[in-house]
Structure 1
Amino acid sequence: MDERSIRILQAIATLGTGSPDEISAHTGIPKSTVHYRITKLKEEGIVLDDLFTIDLEKLGLEITIITEVIAEYDEQYHTQVGEKLAEIEGVNQVYFTMGETDFVVIAHLAGREMVHRLISDYERINEVVRTSSQFVVETVKDEPHPLNDFEFETLVATTVDLD
């Protein structure tokens, strides 16, 4: 995997499309190169489907860390602390929750050094009181498209209620 392929994958994530025209305009990489690289990424199993789902393990991001974060309560702390957590490199999901845990944070990382940096970045946030992190040993289910978790009839009944 070289810098061009990574730049293409980042453009897909940013733009929300695999259009070679749009990726080329965004990255400055020639359209024919973009098309060729996307085809190669699919052949190598890095891009898994036409929706551009990425196999993070094949990109070296094989460690998933789930962290519970306890923060000092203050007015609007959920917004302020949540935004600080979201800015940390490698963090791709931040949830403000009810109960004893204030936030649940999910990160995908490449190795121990990145895990150490992640924990250090959490500790640098003044409002963070305590964290508890777990390594994911095996992913049982990771459905990137929540609509696939429902039967068609359930979705129809849910959306009918919205009309």
Structure 2
Amino acid sequence: MDERNIRILQAVADLGTGSPDEISEYTDIPKSTVHYRLTKLREDGIVTDDLFDVDLEKLGLEITVISEVIAEYEEQYHDEVGTKLAAIEGVNQVYFTMGDTDFVVIAHLSDREMVQRLISDYERIDEVVRTSSQFVVETVKDEPHPLNDFELETLVEATTDSD
């Protein structure tokens, strides 16, 4: 995995397309190179389908950290703290939650150094009171397309009920 592959994968994520033309224009990498590398990424199992889902473990981001973050309550604090958490490198998902935990944060990282940096970045946010982080030992299910978790009839019923 080199810088060009990473730039191509970032372009796919930013643009939401695997079009070699659009990726080439976005990255200034020649279209033929983009096409070749996308094919190679598929063959290597890094890109898992035509929707360009990425196998994070094969990319080297094999440590998944799930953190519960408790923050000081202030009016609209969830917007400010949530934005700060989302800006931390490696953080992929931030959820503002109800209950004892204010935020659940999911990060995909490559090594212990990145984990230490993540925790330090949490501590730098003034409003963060406490964190509790867990490492994922084994992923049992990771469905990138939530619609795949429902039967067609259930989705039809749910969308019909909301009309």
Q: Taking structure 2 as the reference length, what is the TM-score of the superposition?
A: 0.99
CA distance, structure 1, for counterparts of residue 118 and residue 2 of structure 2: 25
In the other structure, the counterpart of 1:34 is: 34
In the other structure, the counterpart of 1:22 is: 22
In the other structure, the counterpart of 2:51 is: 51
In the other structure, the counterpart of 1:67 is: 67
Deviations 1:58-112 (A, max 9, x none): 1110000000000000011000000000000000100000000000000000000
**What is the count of residue pairs matched by the alignment?**
163
Deviations 1:1-20 (A, max 9, x none): 11111110000000000000
CA RMSD of aligned residues (A): 0.6
CA distance, structure 2, for counterparts of residue 106 and residue 132 of structure 1: 12
In the other structure, the counterpart of 2:97 is: 97
In the other structure, the counterpart of 1:127 is: 127
Deviation at 1:38, TM superposition (A): 0.2
- SS of structure 2 residue aligned to 1:61: coil
AA of the residue aligned to 1:38: L
Moved over 4 A (4+): none
- SS of structure 1 residue aligned to 2:83: helix
List runs of 5+ in structure 2 lacking aligned partners: none
CA distance, structure 2, for counterparts of residue 100 and residue 141 of structure 1: 25
CA distance, structure 1, for counterparts of residue 134 and residue 162 of structure 2: 38
List runs of 5+ in structure 1 lacking aligned partners: none
Q: Taking structure 1 as the reference length, what is the TM-score of the superposition?
A: 0.99
Deviation at 1:114, TM superposition (A): 0.2
